[in-house]
Amino acid sequence: MYSLEIKNVTKKFVTAKKELLVAVNDVSFAIEQGKIHGLLGPNGAGKSTLIGMISAMQAADKGVIEVEGIDVGARPTDVKKMLGVVPQEIVVEMPFTVEEVLYYYAGMYGVPERERGERIREVLTELDLIGKLKDRARNLSGGMKRRLMIAKAIVHKPKFLILDEPTAGVDVSLRQKIWALVRRLNAEGTTILFTTHYLEEAEQLCESITLIDHGRVIKNGKLKDIQQEFSKNVIHFELFDRAVAHMAGVIEVGSDYEFPMTDLGDDLARLTTYYKGNIKSIRSESASLEQIFLKLTNSPNV
């Protein structure tokens, strides 16, 4: 069962210059229930537009989006109830206190009245914002407003949580809190979709990713499979004693040596037999998400 299925979705805008911009171009992908999925791509790729359509904030021009099997276009209110969304832009209800904002959201999303106070305390404690319970939203710092937005999105324990660049511009401690929160919610069964420009973050958290550029999906799948596809197929090793005759095919790269790999097991066995106790370290290379990203998008803008 999928938490999200996007089928051939297109969204066009008319720009200020009266030109047609295809922000999302025939996008299809799906996320299985209970997964953490990364939506990646350079600035302007179409990520937030896609999130706007998943969360029923804007309508698709073409295609179908289903959240937990429910068509967003046909039943937007039912979909909204299952979702928690943290948008990219900071939007908080400035005149109200943190407690009032969360009380309102908890009520809107059906948290029973007697449970609301406790739920609010729980999420604020986890996000380290409990000390600001009675403060007005307008008086919070930027990072605290971001915490309040996350609290709003999770106070009703959504089945599916969407975070649009939750860690952009936040301090190290908040970033770690957000990671911990994402992992905890996921362990409790929440499916998570998030966007980030920090690729090491995607590597840490996601099992699968969709990479989009200029509105199109350019890669989709399990992160491990994608890394394998792009891995350089070489074995790197270091030697204690460098003054030895080398095995055929071995090349020197700085202080390391490289050997083109055809079969990891066989090649490792051949190298270790040949060099015996002379091998100081040995590893096969797996491409980083950053290398893959740059290669596929030709974009230095990560």
Strand pairing of 256-260 and 251-253? antiparallel
Q: For ligand ATP, which residue of 43, 77, 141, 262 counts as binding (CB under 6 A)?
A: 43
Asked if residue 48 binds Mg ion (CB under 5 A), the reply is: yes
- Residue 49 binds what, of ligand ATP, Mg ion, none (CB under 5 to 8 Å, by partner type)? ligand ATP
x/- contact string, 82-101, with ligand ATP (CB under 6 A)?
------x-------------
Any residues with CB less than 8 A from the CB of 89 and at least 6 apart, and which?
A: none
Task: For residue 107, give the nearest of 98, 97, 117, 95 by alpha carbon.
Answer: 117
User: Which part of the chain contacts ligand ATP (CB under 6 A), choosing from 45-53, 218-226, 255-263, 287-295?
Assistant: 45-53
Q: In angstroms, give the least distance from the CB of 280 to Mg ion.
A: 45
Asked if residue 55 binds ligand ATP (CB under 6 A), the reply is: no
Coil vs helix vs strand at 238: strand
Q: Are 186 and 192 in contact (CB under 8 A)?
A: yes
Coil vs helix vs strand at 79: helix
Which residues share a beta bridge with 29? 6
Asked if residue 48 binds ligand ATP (CB under 6 A), the reply is: yes
Q: Are 4 and 27 in contact (CB under 8 A)?
A: no
Q: For ligand ATP, which residue of 9, 31, 38, 47 counts as binding (CB under 6 A)?
A: 47
Asked if residue 45 binds ligand ATP (CB under 6 A), the reply is: yes
Task: For residue 226, give the nearest of 289, 174, 294, 134 by alpha carbon.
Answer: 289
Number of residues that bind Mg ion (CB under 5 A): 3
Q: In angstroms, give the least distance from the CB of 74 to ligand ATP.
A: 23
Q: For ligand ATP, which residue of 4, 31, 40, 49 counts as binding (CB under 6 A)?
A: 49
Q: In angstroms, give the least distance from the CB of 74 to Mg ion.
A: 26
Q: Are 285 and 232 in contact (CB under 8 A)?
A: yes
Q: Are 236 and 256 in contact (CB under 8 A)?
A: yes
Tokens at residue 99, please? 């407690």
Look at the block and give the residue holding tokens 């071995």: 250
Asked if residue 156 binds ligand ATP (CB under 6 A), the reply is: no
DSSP 3: E
For residues 295 and 293, give the distance between their C-alpha atoms in angstroms, rounded to a whole number: 5
Q: In angstroms, give the least distance from the CB of 51 to Mg ion.
A: 8
Asked if residue 196 binds Mg ion (CB under 5 A), the reply is: no
Q: Are 97 and 151 in contact (CB under 8 A)?
A: no
Q: In angstroms, give the least distance from the CB of 46 to Mg ion.
A: 8
List C-alpha distances in Å: 75 to 69, 71, 102, 199, 241. Answer: 11, 6, 25, 34, 69
Asked if residue 21 binds ligand ATP (CB under 6 A), the reply is: yes
Asked if residue 88 binds Mg ion (CB under 5 A), the reply is: yes
Task: For residue 164, give the nearest of 251, 89, 67 by alpha carbon.
Answer: 89
Q: In angstroms, give the least distance from the CB of 53 to ligand ATP.
A: 10
Number of residues that bind ligand ATP (CB under 6 A): 13
Asked if residue 198 binds ligand ATP (CB under 6 A), the reply is: no
Q: In angstroms, give the least distance from the CB of 54 to ligand ATP.
A: 12
Asked if residue 217 binds ligand ATP (CB under 6 A), the reply is: no
Q: For ligand ATP, which residue of 7, 12, 25, 44 counts as binding (CB under 6 A)?
A: 44
- The residues binding ligand ATP (CB under 6 A) are 13, 15, 21, 23, 41, 43-49, 88
